[in-house]
Amino acid sequence: MAPRTQTGSGRLSRGLLLLWALLGTGLCHVGTEAEGFGQDARTSPPVAVFNWTAQLVEETYTNITQKCWEFFVDLMRNVTASELCEWKVISRPYSLLQACLEGWADHLRYGYPNALAEQYIFQSHHRYFHNCTLEHQVYFDPPEDVLLAMIIAPICLIPFLVTLVIWRSKDGKAQP
């Protein structure tokens, strides 16, 4: 018999864990009752328990976010340079990247927003959208003096109109 060489079992188990997380097979059904088991606590089905450490969650999330980024890059390959700044074209890949990062953080209870997700968002802006300028005019608030006049004019007009209505109604004749 030939001697077997030891493979990196840590890498294999992390790979299997990542595969399980990506496929979402739901191997742990804590609240379900297996067929043939009663309500008695002594005969309840065995429950698979997996202790997620913070390091394992972070490592899993890091691997998954890398896949999210690769998927985003793959989608962006279909976008031409002239279309990079058109929201109608890039909204789908950008939203999918954000949804992937946020969804997996939520699934792993990692917390969102987080530094890793922000890094990928910033990387997407730096790589794809850094040359985008605003083609349409951006509307700003008017200058303060104009804004003040637009607020005060209706306020001052209200007492004048109330006075006019009262003055016109004091002629003493009842209106039919």
**Above 90 in pLDDT, residue 158?**
yes
- Dump pLDDT digits (tens) for 86-138: 889 999 999 999 999 999 999 998 889 899 999 999 999 999 988 887 666 66
**Above 50 in pLDDT, residue 63?**
yes
**Above 50 in pLDDT, residue 37?**
no
113-122: long-range contacts (C-beta < 8 A, 24 or more apart)? Answer: 116/61, 116/62, 116/65, 117/65, 120/65, 120/68, 120/69, 120/72, 121/97
Domain extents in the chain: 57-130
How many beta carbons lie within 10 A of that of residue 69, not counting itself? 17
Q: Which CATH class, in words, describes the domain spanning 57-130?
A: mainly alpha
